[in-house]
């Protein structure tokens, strides 16, 4: 697959980013290197290789998820750049 300006523009639009000039060329080159590497990986023969569930030999036991810092709603909203009553107000990102 060849990475061209149209593909970079489309991906940038989906990610709500904008690239121009030298930055766009750099992104295009990086994307091409990534796709070339993935193409190399696709050529590797993995027919007799068992799939891995975990990257390590044993199972990693995770700690219990516990909240250690408790702040009030007012404290959480105190540094918000924009708020509406009891909620954070964020810019609209989807156009419908």
Residue 59, pLDDT > 80, answer no
Output the DSSP codes for 28-51: HHHHHHHHHHHHHHHTS--TT-PP
What tokens appear for 86 in the block?
A: 């009891």
Highest mean pLDDT, choosing among 6-20, 51-65, 79-93: 6-20
- The domains found in the chain, sorted by start residue, are 5-42 (1.10.20)
| pLDDT single digits (tens) 6-33 | 999 999 999 999 999 999 999 999 999 9
Q: Return the pLDDT at 33.
A: 98
What's the rounded Cα separation, in Å, for the pair 76 and 72?
Answer: 6
The 3-state DSSP class for residue 81 equals: coil
Look at 9-13, 17-21, 64-68, 86-90 and tell me which has the smallest mean pLDDT.
Answer: 64-68
What's the rounded Cα separation, in Å, for the pair 57 and 45?
Answer: 22
């Amino acid at each position: 697959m060849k990475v061209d300006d149209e593909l970079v523009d489309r991906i940038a639009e989906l990610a709500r980013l904008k690239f121009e000039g030298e930055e766009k060329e750099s992104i295009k080159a990086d994307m091409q290197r990534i796709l070339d590497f993935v193409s190399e990986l696709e050529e590797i023969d993995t027919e007799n290789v068992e799939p891995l569930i975990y990257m390590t030999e044993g199972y990693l036991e995770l700690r219990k998820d516990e909240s250690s810092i408790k702040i009030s709603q007012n404290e959480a909203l105190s540094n918000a750049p924009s708020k509406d009553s009891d909620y954070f107000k964020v810019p609209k990102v989807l156009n419908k």
